[in-house]
Amino acid sequence: MKKVFSILIMVLLLCNHTTGSASTLDIKSEAAILIDSQSGAVLYEKNAKQKMYPASLTKIATAIYAIERGNLANMVTITKEATEVDGTKVYLNEGEEVPLKKLIQGMLINSGNDAAEAIALHLDGNREAFSRHFNDFLQNKINVQNTHFTNPHGLFEGSHYTTAEDLAKITSYALHNDTFKEIYGTKELKWVGESWDTTIFTHHRMLKGEIPLEGIIGGKTGFVTEAKQTLATSAENEKISLTAIVLKADHKKGIYQDTQLLLEYGFARFQTSLLEPSEVKHNKYYLPNETFITEDLQEGRQTVLDNGELLIETGSGETIQTIQLEKHEREPVESKVEQTKQEHEEDHATVIYGAAVFVLAGLLVGMKNKIFKYLRR
């Protein structure tokens, strides 16, 4: 009964917060961001560009790196180095052979640090090479600019950092991969290893259903002392797909409350739409491809600035998303028609003006001759 009462109180609190603007959200964690996973539009941010320690949210990046770079069916031979990593494990044995996909599952679902280390060593041979290739992948493939990872699992190192904004970009990018999305959303998995025969469960309380919220499709938890509580959560309904990243909360309760506030706010206020090129009409700029945009459910508008930026705005004028349009290499047909019409009108006016001048000149010449004749009398 006490648990039910607590849930009801939480729901009432959410109702009071999710109908307003982003500025009304009382987010306690040090950094947070909410984005539309399809359009990339930032719907809420707090210290989103501040460098932070991610803890095990690092494993989201390691997972998509491994999925895209490795062969999921390949067998990975576990080294002694991998088995000696601190923290949460899936209890791999030295010399054990495990498929790469299974290691990714153990890393994301049970947060196995030993699985993460085994993945890194398998892909790149040693930690230094892994870090170099890993960061190149994140910067060049996903276009993150404020992230530097020195390990695959997120155990604390001073030079291992990221931002809420970059983690949201990485997670949204990864969600476009079906294998990642499947593993990221797995609640439980039968695990059979040489030294561990069990069922592993996600640590994410929303994904497990312990904290009820409709639409949760995946998540990852994290904790080290320096990072405190960190959480990545993705959710969707029929109108929008959202990803919330929340960093450095003092307690687990706080990190889930912040996440729930963000997701409820996103569901209550926004929807994703597909903007077609034909829908953007401008005499200097155009939209080259169909593009996902995030719109205000209540009221919204679109504005093209003189520099070709298309602003997707709320009814009150707050910018939700900015899209850079392309400039026409040639003037649009409509513009050329107008120009031709104007030139024709100008030519017609010139002819009339010339004729008038000619007539006036003739009159003046005639008057001049009459004057001369009069003077000669």
Degrees, nearest 5: CA angle 246-247-248: 135
Question: Are 168 and 100 part of one and the same domain?
Answer: yes
Question: Are 177 and 282 part of one and the same domain?
Answer: no
Lowest mean pLDDT among 27-36, 87-96, 117-126, 305-314: 305-314
Asked whether residue 2 carries a pLDDT value surpassing 50, the answer given is no
Residue 350 lies in a domain: no
Rg, C-alpha atoms of the chain: 32
Question: Are 174 and 90 part of one and the same domain?
Answer: yes
Residue 2 lies in a domain: no
Question: Are 190 and 65 part of one and the same domain?
Answer: yes
Residue 353 lies in a domain: no
CB hemisphere CA count around 69 (13 angstroms): 20
CATH label of the domain that carries residue 52: 3.40.710.10
Question: Are 296 and 186 part of one and the same domain?
Answer: no
Residue 374 lies in a domain: no
Residue 13 lies in a domain: no
Q: pLDDT (tens digit, 9 = 90+) per residue, 241-278?
A: 999 999 999 999 999 999 999 999 999 999 999 988 88
Question: Are 263 and 286 part of one and the same domain?
Answer: no
State which residues form the domain around 215: 21-270
Residue 333 lies in a domain: no
Summary mean pLDDT of the chain = 86
Question: Are 247 and 134 part of one and the same domain?
Answer: yes
Question: Are 240 and 292 part of one and the same domain?
Answer: no
Overall domain count for the chain: 2
- Residues 295 and 301: their CA atoms lie apart, in Å, by 8
Question: Are 164 and 291 part of one and the same domain?
Answer: no
Residues 187 and 203: beta-carbon distance below 8 Å: no
Residue 87 neighbours by CB under 8 Å, 6+ apart: 113, 153, 155
pLDDT value at residue 283: 83
Segments in the chain forming alpha helices (H): 2-17, 58-69, 80-83, 100-109, 113-124, 127-141, 164-174, 178-184, 205-208, 252-269, 333-376
Residue 7 lies in a domain: no
pLDDT value at residue 366: 57
Question: Are 57 and 107 part of one and the same domain?
Answer: yes
Residue 340 lies in a domain: no
Cβ burial of 110 (10 Å; 0-12, 13-18, 19+) is: buried
Question: Are 199 and 244 part of one and the same domain?
Answer: yes
Question: Are 222 and 317 part of one and the same domain?
Answer: no
The closest alpha carbon to 111, from 75, 85, 81, 150, belongs to: 85
Q: Provide the pLDDT confidence category of residue 374 given band limits of 50, 70 and 90.
A: very low
